[in-house]
Structure 1
Amino acid sequence: MTETATREAYDGLADTYAELFTTAFEGNPLDRGMHDAFAELVTGAIADLGCGPGRVTAYLHSRGLDVFGMDLSPRMVTLARQAYPDLRFEQGSMTGVPVEDASLGGIVARYSVIHTQPEELPVIFAEFARVLAPGGHLLISFYAHDGAELAEPFDHKVTRAYRLSPDGVAGLLAEAGLKEIARLERQPNEGERFLQGCLLLRKDPAV
């Protein structure tokens, strides 16, 4: 999907999305645990890219992190600002994060790359590597599959999306200079359809 199509799809469903997934993160101790580990490892400014209505941004802020949220959908950004007026939220694209080189201590990308066409993932991962400081961390979550292909398309209901191979994602991120240090693959909970993947990676301190 193009960014325009994805943005328009989420703008149209943002209010419903925010209402339906009020406890999707807080109610999952495994997912939350990976974010807690991330919070203990990172220092400096943190970007929650694809922040949606801002719940994960707010959670990371509650853990003491200097975090801001960014989303492609202007409506999602509006909802996040309304819900968390003391936090910073911006509209923008992961292909061009509006920060300087090596200026972030960490990035969270929770299910925000699933609408990216597979051939464009290296562009986004290179952008992650650009904005992360040496030694900075990336926490990336996605719908997963255990096949040989990098990506398998599926009907996401909002717009076209892809299930991703954890090994394939880790390999592309390694090419961008980010080394995997931990991984979570869990079976779907009630209401979920697919295997869930989460990778924690670190930018080489020497880069």
Structure 2
Amino acid sequence: MPDGRRKSIQLSPPCRIRQLTSACHKINYQTGYRVLPVANHQDETRTAYDGVVELYASLFADRLETQPFSRAMIGTFAELVRATGNPRAADVGCGPGHLTAMLHELGLDAFGLDLAPGMVDHARRAHPALSFQEARMESLPIENGALGGVLAHYSMIHTPPRELPELLAEQARVLAPNGLLLVSFFGTDGQEPVRFNHKVAPAYSWPADSLAELLGDAGLDPFARLLHDPASERGFLDAHLLARRP
């Protein structure tokens, strides 16, 4: 771990978040010329995260230390997955791999999948004993019913609402009977999902009831939820839904 004299450590969290925002958007503003839009939201998301791999990893590596509710939900998820007798679990949208490692420490046979090749490369270097692979969440390289658990920790937030049902159905497909899906997302008190300018790429906040209904439509049984106001400037709830495949 770098010492306190290193510039990256001296940055306060808000400053580092602003730096993350700047890094994500510099491709649009560094020349002054109009940049043609990327083909779709997945290309935009992949390009944005690939441009901030090291900064993102340093910013979020220890984030759960200050998020007891997220830790509690992930711990509960791991315990329930172990109880199914199938400890195989995917961390979809794994980023730099820190939560994949956490699932491994909690007793799961965990592996990570991510859209961004830069994130996958970083995760492999940071956690060489674990498996990481580049993959799209709507076409997982996993056999039907193979997993005891799927963790989607804020990894579906960039998916437009019209595409989310397909994404949830894919997570349900790879779960074994009694397998668990934990979805964490930005919650809203409204009635509809809301698009907002995330620091990395455009994202959506969701009413918990609406997302729970989509989980049901995907063939899953949502049976637990946690909504927490993080008292931050974001204006969103930290939301978690836990669902089981019958």
Short-chain TM bin: over 0.9
In structure 1, how many angstroms separate the alpha carbons of the residues matched to 2:70 and 2:227?
Answer: 10
The answer (yes or no) to whether the contact 2:87–2:107 under 8 Å persists in 1 is no
Residue 30 of structure 1: CA displacement? 1.0
Which residue in 2 is equivalent to 1:69?
Answer: 112
* In structure 2, distance between residues paired with 1:172 and 1:111: 16
Q: Shift of residue 180 of structure 1? A: 1.1
Distance in 1 (CA, whole Å) between partners of 2:204 and 2:232 is: 20
Aligned to 1:35: 74
Cα shift at 1:191: 6.3
Gaps of 5+ in 1: none
Q: Which has the higher strand share?
A: 1
Provide the residue aligned with 1:107 in structure 2.
Answer: 150
Within 1, Cα distance between the matches of 2:191 and 2:52? 33
Q: Spell out structure 1 runs of 4+ moving beyond 2 A.
A: 189-193
Conserved 8 A contact 2:92-2:113: yes
The equivalent residue for 1:123 is 166
Contact 1:153 1:160 in 2 (8 A): yes
Cα shift at 1:22: 2.2
**Whole-angstrom distance in 2 between the partners of 1:44 and 1:130:** 17
- SS of the aligned residue for 2:164 comes to helix
SS of equivalent residue, structure 2 residue 91: strand
Q: Which structure 2 residue ranges, 5 or more long, are not aligned?
A: 1-39
Between 1 and 2, higher relative CO (CA 8 Å, sep ≥ 6) is seen in 1
The separation in 1 between residues aligned to 2:135 and 2:159, in whole angstroms, is: 15
Tell me what 1:78 maps to. 121
Task: Pick from 101, 112, 116 the counterpart of residue 58 of structure 1.
Answer: 101
How many Å separate the matches in 2 of 1:52 and 1:134?
A: 27
- More deviation in 27-36 or 110-119? 27-36
Q: In structure 2, what is the Cα distance between the partners aligned to 1:26 and 1:138?
A: 22
Which string of whole-angstrom CA distances, capped at 9 and with x for unpartnered residues, describes residues 99-122 of structure 1?
100111100000000000100000
Contact 1:25–1:56, Cα closer than 8 Å, also in 2? no
Q: Which of 63, 81, 85 is the aligned partner of 1:24? A: 63
Aligned to 1:175: 217
Residues 203 and 113 (structure 1), Cα distance of their counterparts in 2 relative to 1, 3 Å cut: same
Q: Deviations over 1:154-204 (max 9, x none)?
A: 110211111111111100010111111110000014565421100010001
1-structure distance, mates of 2:53, 2:233: 19
Find out whether 1:198 has 2:237 as its counterpart. no
State the SS of the aligned residue for 2:64.
coil
Tell me the alpha carbon deviations over residues 75-124 of structure 1, each in whole angstroms, 9 at most, x when there is no partner: 01111111110000111000101010011110000000000010000010
Q: For this pair of structures, how many residues does the alignment match?
A: 203
